[in-house]
Amino acid sequence: MARRGASGVPRTQHRETRQSHAVRAALAGNQQFQSAQQLHGRLRARGDGVGLATVYRTLQRLVEQGEVDVLRTDDGEAIYRLCSREHHHHLTCRSCRRTVEIDNSAVEAWARRIGEENGYADVEHIVELVGTCADCAAS
């Protein structure tokens, strides 16, 4: 349930704490997807006193706000990365986790067509593309 401010209007803004700022900065410093544990390790190495639970809470909030994308690895681990706010898709290397955002016009058209063919409206989708990047394939 949303918290309500003095006006009775639900509050959706969260206060930017030192810890959440540190998590956001660490995400911004790495363009690849990383786990909460990896992020926590980077923060500790920099001397930021941010607990692992705070990292998880901050990541969840950023995902809910659309500022961070989350993918699942083959073993089910969640990995995170700051991304654009527009709807988009990724192609992720299964070996090194290198990730690129891809043009999604064909995916959007496909999802819309599948929905229409089956009598659905307002179709949403989740697509994760995984492969092996050229560098990993060459080694």
Can you give the pTM of this predicted structure?
A: 0.62
| CA distances (Å), origin 37, targets 33, 53, 58, 89 | 12, 10, 13, 24
Domain map (residue ranges) of the chain? 15-85, 86-139
To the question of domain 15-85 being in CATH 3.40.190.10, the answer is no
pLDDT one-digit tens code per residue, 8-56 = 434 445 667 888 889 999 998 888 889 999 999 999 999 988 999 999 9
| Buried-state track 40-68, b at ≥16 Cβ within 10 A, e below 16 | bebbeeeebebeeebbbbbbeebeeeeeb
Class for domain 86-139, per CATH? alpha beta
pLDDT one-digit tens code per residue, 77-112 = 999 988 877 777 888 888 887 888 887 788 889 999
